[in-house]
């Protein structure tokens, strides 16, 4: 006795429905990919800056975010975009990390555009770095060589110095 598989006339319709749903899911997944998912700026001190990577080398860093002069518990990891590296940015960030400068990092975050980490290990890409204070740690660390500077510019840190000589 020969047993033949059942012929289902709706088999092709089921295949078309599954293929259509798969294509719709792919379109929805890729439509969520965007270059400027969010834009912003963070202020703090860079504690780590290095050139890392196995296949694609990229500059990666870690910023200790400051709030009113104290470190926040929320770290900020960032990358320099390999596809669009602003000139002079790497040198500024490296100097800020080595000297403990307080900086403002302007960044944009991507969503779904860095699947293979070929642009950097994070999705936060630095566009610009502004040095806010080059003498950030010298007010309290006993640096006798540093000359006190009196400025009228307020960033987000307030130092109170009590001078009993006056």
Q: What pTM does this model have?
A: 0.64
Contact assessment for residue 146 and residue 135, using Cβ atoms and an 8 Å cutoff: yes
Question: What was the pLDDT predicted at 144?
Answer: 47
Label residue 90 by pLDDT band (50, 70, 90). very high
Interval 136-152: pLDDT, tens: 655 544 454 555 555 55
Domains detected in the chain: 34-133 (2.40.50.110)
Per-residue pLDDT tens digits for 45-54: 999 999 998 8
| Cα end-to-end span (Å), the chain | 114
Could you report the per-residue pLDDT of 94-105, keeping only the tens digit for each? 999 999 999 999
Q: Distance between CA atoms of 32 and 112, rounded to whole angstroms? A: 7
Round to whole Å and give the CA distance between 123 and 36.
10
Provide the phi-psi class of 58: left if phi over 0, else alpha when psi is between -120 and 50, else beta: beta
3-state secondary structure 125-150: EEEEEEEEECCCCCCCCCCCCCCCCC
Of the chain, the percentage scoring pLDDT greater than 70 comes to 63
């Amino acid at each position: 006795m020969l047993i033949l598989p059942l012929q289902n006339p709706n088999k092709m319709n089921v295949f078309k429905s599954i293929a259509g749903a798969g294509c719709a899911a792919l379109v929805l997944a890729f439509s969520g990919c965007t270059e400027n998912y969010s834009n912003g700026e963070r202020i703090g001190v860079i504690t780590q800056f290095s050139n890392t990577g196995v296949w694609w080398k990229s500059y990666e860093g870690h910023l200790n975010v400051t709030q009113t002069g104290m470190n926040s518990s929320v770290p900020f990891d960032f990358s320099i975009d390999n596809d669009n590296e602003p000139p002079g940015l790497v040198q500024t960030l490296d100097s800020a990390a080595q000297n403990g400068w307080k900086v403002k990092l302007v960044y944009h975050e991507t969503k779904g555009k860095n699947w293979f980490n070929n642009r950097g290990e994070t999705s936060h890409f630095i566009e610009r770095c502004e040095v806010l204070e080059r003498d950030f740690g010298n007010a309290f660390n006993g640096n006798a060589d540093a000359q006190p500077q009196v400025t009228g510019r307020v960033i987000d840190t307030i130092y109170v110095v009590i001078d009993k000589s006056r």
